[in-house]
Amino acid sequence: MTRDKDYRNTEYCPVMDRVEEQKKTLEKEIRSEYSRTKIVYNKVSNRNSVYHKKFAQIYNNKCAYCGALWGLLPVESFEVDHFLNEASFPNTIEGRIEAGKMINLTWACISCNRGKCGIMIKPPYDDLLNVDNGNIATVFRRDSDYYIRVCDTYKSDAFVQQFYEKLHLGYETRRLDYLGLQLEGKYRAEKDEKRKCKLGESLSILMKKRNRMAVTGRSLL
C-alpha cells in the first residue's frame, strides 16, 4: 500500500513496512529475555516497558485505524489493542494466551480501541480490515476535506458501516488529527526558521482546538 493510497498517511508520513515481520522480531526479542512469558500482550502493553515503545514504532507511532499520531496527542491517549477482541476467544487461560499473541495485537488510539472493543470481527472481515498488511486502506479513504469516508465498494456493507461508526471514524476530531499530522510533517520538513515557528504556532492552536472538541463532546460532523 503506497502512502498516497492510505488514508492514514499524509505525504510526510513514512509507509508502514514489514509490520508482520517486525512484530515477529519483537516477539522473539521478548521471549529471549522472558522465556516463560505466555501472554505477550502483558509485555508490550506495559507503558513503562521498552517493548511498549518498540511496538508503537512498528506502526510509526500512529493509530493503525485512524492514523492519529502518538506525540501530537497525549501519551495516555494510545494503547495496545487486540485486533480480534478477547471475547472472540475462549474464556480460558489458553484463550487469553491466543488473544494476547503478537499477531493479534496492534497500536491504537484509545478512541478507536474502546470503540471497537465490543465488535466481533469474523471472516472475511478479519482479512478485509487487516491493519498490518494495509487491506483496511482499501475500505476507507480521505475525502477532499480530509474526513475519513467508507469507499463506494463498501457503502452498503452493514458490518463495515458498523465498524466505521463504532470507531467514530467520521468524527471531526479525525479530520483535525489528520490536519495536525500534515502540519507536523510540514514543520519537520521546513528549513526556514520563521516559517517553522509559524507552523509550530499553527499546530499548537489546532491541537488545542482538537482537544477542547474531544473534551466537550463536539466531535461529530
10-residue stretch averages of pLDDT, the chain, 221 residues long: 77 93 97 95 96 97 96 91 97 96 97 95 97 97 96 98 97 95 95 96 93 63 46
Q: What is the pTM of this model?
A: 0.92
C-alpha cell at 144: 477532499
Mention every residue, 6+ apart, whose C-beta is less than 8 A from residue 173. Answer: 111, 210, 213, 214, 219
Is 75 a domain residue? yes
Is 214 a domain residue? no
Residue 63: which of 7, 101, 18 has the closest Cα? 7
The neighbour count for residue 190, using CB atoms within 10 Å, is 15
**What type of residue is 128?**
L
At 54, is the secondary structure helix, strand, or coil?
A: helix
The neighbour count for residue 160, using CB atoms within 10 Å, is 19
Is 184 a domain residue? no
Query: How many domains is the chain partitioned into structurally?
Result: 1
d(CA 65, CA 56): 13
| H-only helix segments in the chain | 19-33, 41-44, 50-58, 93-99, 110-116, 125-128, 158-166, 172-189, 193-216
Is 11 a domain residue? yes
d(CA 135, CA 129): 6
Name residue 70's beta-bridge partners.
73
Mention every residue, 6+ apart, whose C-beta is less than 8 A from residue 72. Answer: 177, 180, 181, 184, 203, 207
Is 189 a domain residue? no
C-alpha cell at 99: 488473544
- The parent domain of residue 138 ranges over 3-174
Is 207 a domain residue? no
Is 121 a domain residue? yes
Residue 107: which of 130, 83, 85, 84 has the closest Cα? 83
d(CA 120, CA 81): 14
Q: What are phi and psi of 153, to 5 degrees?
A: -60, -30
